[in-house]
Chains A and B, each alone.
Chain A
């Protein structure tokens, strides 16, 4: 019986093809037959139909609509077959589409829900052909571009399409005769089926294996079945051995199983051994394993064989194999839980007969295996499958739902490792768990928790079904397993109340026992999580304390990407908290290169200047983040540009002479580009919006600026949108006020506080505070008049010439300093009295610098502020004196170039007089005012 089956199984596809090719007519017959049969008709109609087919060529016959449609379908299938023969993918694709269209009609006229067998056959055929084509890499390369495109398109379409008919296709593969032989009654087939099944459990293991592997093969698009039948034939002998196993279960000994295992393991990578088949064989072995340890050992092999199923680095493991793999892992854990005397490790070389020790053996049993490696592989396969799936499809969501599955395994493995005292590995697992959780805001986390609960429920239903199936299969397939393992480990992940709780739990483990990389990554994840839960300050402190930013250049690329993601989230967090400068600091670097997408691994960016090699591109693609982990780029860009705007606009207004001092070059460049435009249209993207707001803000028009910003779509992505917008509005008002004062203060003699508050809709206190701050930092040359609450402006604006002269003086002083330093270096600088001299100089130049700053009011708050405290603290108020002086004088700026000249001459011509020289120079600094006044006028 086995051989009979084999005979069929072998020639399956070939025969099919032949048959189909030769007797094109019969296609419609069986199609009709099937339809008829299902609908309760008898073969009579079928022959009838075939008759009409034959006679169809000549005369016109009035046929039923049904027949006509079926006929059409048949023709299309024929076309496809022809196309296949000549490898014409373009044509094939067209035919396929046509076929699908026709199918609808056929189904409609047939008035039944079953599909025409012909269609299913065609699908099977196509699939095989496609797999073959894909497997043949050489041929694929040689293909013309249009063909290759068509091939790819076909691949996608077919996969999608075949999903719907999975069951039927499977059936067709298993029992091609049912789809071909029209005279076999369905009932008979079923009976026979049952017969076979019932027989099968003892006599026909091959069949099961085959059908099983066929099952696998269906979902596996990698084309592993290119020579499926062929391989099976080869392995027939093995199979027969299996049969031997099955015939008398009591006779199976540990040795037989072990021998068989070794044989299978040794076959790895050999030509002609199907990967899936190996899995199947090994799975079978697990059932006949004699001792738990042996079962464990075999399970390990099963798992690694399952990982082997997908050979390429780019693709991912088929999803169903992945799921089976998860189940196997759980099984492994069950065994380990059940028999605590079994130890899994890689370090100890177990002796030959180690696994022979039975369940009642009470010493330690060592089994080689690495749970951590398995789990990490499992995780990366999951990650890859998400990378490869189109995020806009249902598949993606379905795949995401598998996450709890993985978390269960991870949790259990971690618990096991903790029990076993292998805390280092446990930390690694903990990191994997952290990496699945860290990017989830609380809401998403809750959703996941709920999903896990629900998954359990519907999982139970499914499980029940699957279990039953399993049970049935078990009964069918062979004797009950020798080693029965009850479900010992929980099949459901347990989640703490909040994501924070889970993170903290895992973090403390990792920090204690993890290695450097694990710790660094965990730390980054932790920071990320803090940042998205609006705890900017905690996140910032963590980052600064860990000093991760110092060493990030040396880390691996995926950690660098993680770091970039962390920085982006930190920026967003700071922005939400209203810390504009911090947000800008976090984000500006990310945008400085203009390669945000690449830095965040959220899509491949085309660069204009250098082409990437395909190799690089592939590498990059492998690093991509799955879609659900993306950070919204528009929001990020808006955040970056808005914070840049808030910083840069007042800065530009303050330094209108000196365009070099920009805080954010990216922003400046964008602004220049937008200024160059002749016509300004209404803003469309984020950048346009911010540029429009910038234009308004630089005129001090806060209302318009805010309106433009407010009209951005992306704000709805924020959790506390209202709050953020409120904050933004306030910031815009403040900066508008500052900008206004910078730009137009020269037009005013005085300005009352009341007017300012009405102009910018700020409270009196806020406005007062802002203006005071500007005065303090010498950004605004004015002072308050307390009784009238007015700002009185000191008219000290410099002309362009003066401004330039100050810059020149600045540079000259630098020159002098470096010259001096050079001189000192040359002479050794050990002359008596040099140290005090130098000190004097230091003060001197710093004073000078400060004055320049006062006037040019260059460096914003920081520098000015510092000079403010220390200078005024001394009580001399020199800056003020200078200003007064300036106010009194008409022209100035004739800053002593020659003065410096003499200064330099003086110390060049004699170091002996250094002391006195320095004194004069020191004085010179203090007297700069008067020198100026001397003014070379």
Chain B
């Protein structure tokens, strides 16, 4: 089933930290060799500051207690840099940590900046330091801290570009902390900014949309209203264009969401049109299933694809989420998908048959 694994494709559009959950899942699935995954993790950690974690993995990968030189060196670097940043951001952090002082902040940004400058000698440099500090916290894996700082940074920052990346950081942090409601809010906020006209270049905008869609998968497949959310978001013209241009593999998630969602069946036609357009670029059992059923009316083929679909769902980090109830492990999405898909087949079959031999 490894050929239907999209992790490599998806990872390109995600933050390093967001890839960890995917790799964890893959490790559980045993689709790839353990060593490969651990190797990948170490490389991934190279981009972050979670040196301790990297060391642990290194130990388990090579079954030794020795840690390579550069990792140790890296660690000291990280620690010293943390100190420096902490120092730089200290004034504003201490300001933010006292609730009375924070209450003095008003919704007016200009006023706040002015006030900070006047009364606490906190200038743009300190605010900037806050951002760096938050970023560093995030890199170290301290997501909740990062989320807090970023929230406050956004309240104070005037640079729209920085503010945008702070928002991305906040979204990532919320996703990693699994605060789905908050994350969804952040997602919508980010979407508004991306869709606003004054975005730099169309290419940049496209890239941002694609990131947004990838990141949103975490939220949509975990939030209770996510299945509507994904359909609403992905079927918007701009986002659909983005999918078709650069990330047709997202069609898998969209297709699954449409099949599972009984209420949104009217989107099926639209979906099938897109799938057909993109079939030269991307196909997997799920899209092929829909194609068999609604384009070719090949019922045997559809049955066969359905079997493959099950495997794909089980091995997909987003779709194959497991829920443990007592002793049973269920994959709710798989069950729903199969049920609905069978219903589709049967409905269609009955429509064109006058007489069926059920035996």
Contact = CB atoms under 8 A, between A and B. Distances in A.
A784 B354 contact: yes
17 contacts: A545-B245, A768-B297, A769-B296, A769-B298, A772-B297, A776-B297, A776-B351, A783-B354, A785-B355, A786-B353, A786-B355, A786-B357, A787-B357, A869-B266, A870-B266, A872-B347, A873-B266
Contacts of A792: 354
A870 B269 CA distance: 9
* Interface of A, helix, strand, loop or mixed by DSSP: helix
Contacts of A768: 297-298
A25 interface: no
B353 A784 contact: yes
B357 A865 contact: no
A773 interface: yes
What band does the interface of chain B fall in when counting residues whose beta carbon is under 8 Å from A? 20 to 34
B281 interface: yes
B347 A784 contact: no
A776 B355 contact: no
A869 B245 CA distance: 28
Given A784-B352, A786-B353, A792-B354, A773 B266 contact: no
Given A537-B280, A869-B269, A785 B353 contact: yes
Contacts of B268: 869
Best-buried of B294, B352, B354 by chain A (most CB within 10 Å): B352
Contact of A869 (B244, B265, B296, B353): B265
Contact of B269 (A545, A773, A866): A866
A851 B268 CA distance: 21
Interface in A759-798: 765, 768-769, 772-773, 775-776, 783-787, 792
Contacts of B265: 869-870, 873
A773 B296 CA distance: 7
Contacts of A765: 298, 300
Contacts of B356: 786
Interface string A858-886: 00000001101110110000000000000
A191 to B, nearest CB: 75
A783 B353 contact: yes
A873 to B, nearest CB: 5
B348 interface: yes
B264 to A, nearest CB: 11
What band does the interface of chain A fall in when counting residues whose beta carbon is under 8 Å from B? 20 to 34
B296 to A, nearest CB: 5
Given A775-B352, A869-B268, A873-B347, 6 more contacts: A537-B280, A773-B296, A792-B354, A868-B351, A869-B266, A870-B266
Nearest to A545: B245
Contacts of A772: 297, 352
Contact of A865 (B269, B281, B352, B354): B269
A540 to B, nearest CB: 9
A778 to B, nearest CB: 10
Interface string A368-409: 000000000000000000000000000000000000000000
Interface string B235-246: 000000000110
Nearest to A787: B357
A575 to B, nearest CB: 16
Interface in A251-276: none
Contact of B297 (A541, A545, A773, A869): A773
B269 A776 contact: no
Interface in B333-355: 347-348, 351-355
Nearest to A870: B266
Interface in B255-303: 265-266, 268-269, 280-281, 294, 296-298, 300
B34 to A, nearest CB: 38
Contact of B355 (A773, A787, A865, A866): A787
Contacts of A872: 347, 351
Contact of A785 (B281, B300, B347, B354): B354
A708 to B, nearest CB: 29
Interface in B64-97: none
Nearest to B356: A786
Contacts of A545: 245
B347 A776 contact: no
A865 B351 CA distance: 13
A773 B293 CA distance: 10
A772 B352 CA distance: 7
A785 B296 CA distance: 19
A865 B294 CA distance: 9
A541 B357 CA distance: 45
B269 to A, nearest CB: 6
Interface in B306-359: 347-348, 351-357
A786 B359 CA distance: 12
A872 B297 CA distance: 16
Q: Which 6 A-B pairs have the closest CB atoms?
A: A772-B297, A783-B354, A537-B280, A775-B352, A784-B353, A787-B357
Nearest to B296: A769
A537 B354 contact: no
A173 B269 CA distance: 81
Given A545-B245, A772-B297, A873-B265, A537 B353 contact: no
B278 to A, nearest CB: 9
Nearest to B241: A545
A769 B351 CA distance: 14
Contacts of A775: 351-352
Contacts of A873: 265-266, 347
Interface in A806-826: none
A213 to B, nearest CB: 56
Contacts of B300: 765
Interface string A46-71: 00000000000000000000000000
A15 B294 CA distance: 91
A772 to B, nearest CB: 4
Contacts of A865: 269
A765 B347 CA distance: 20
Contacts of B355: 784-787
Contacts of B296: 769, 773
A768 B265 CA distance: 26
Contacts of B294: 869
A418 B356 CA distance: 72
Nearest to A770: B297
A786 B353 CA distance: 7
A537 B244 CA distance: 12
A548 B245 CA distance: 16
Nearest to A775: B352
A776 B266 contact: no
A795 to B, nearest CB: 13
Interface in A215-273: none
Interface in A880-898: none
A783 B352 contact: yes
Contacts of B351: 775-776, 868, 872
Contacts of B297: 768-769, 772-773, 776
Interface string A834-871: 00000000000000000000000000000001101110
Nearest to A537: B280
Nearest to B273: A862
A769 B294 CA distance: 10
A148 to B, nearest CB: 58
Contacts of A776: 297, 348, 351-352
A672 to B, nearest CB: 34
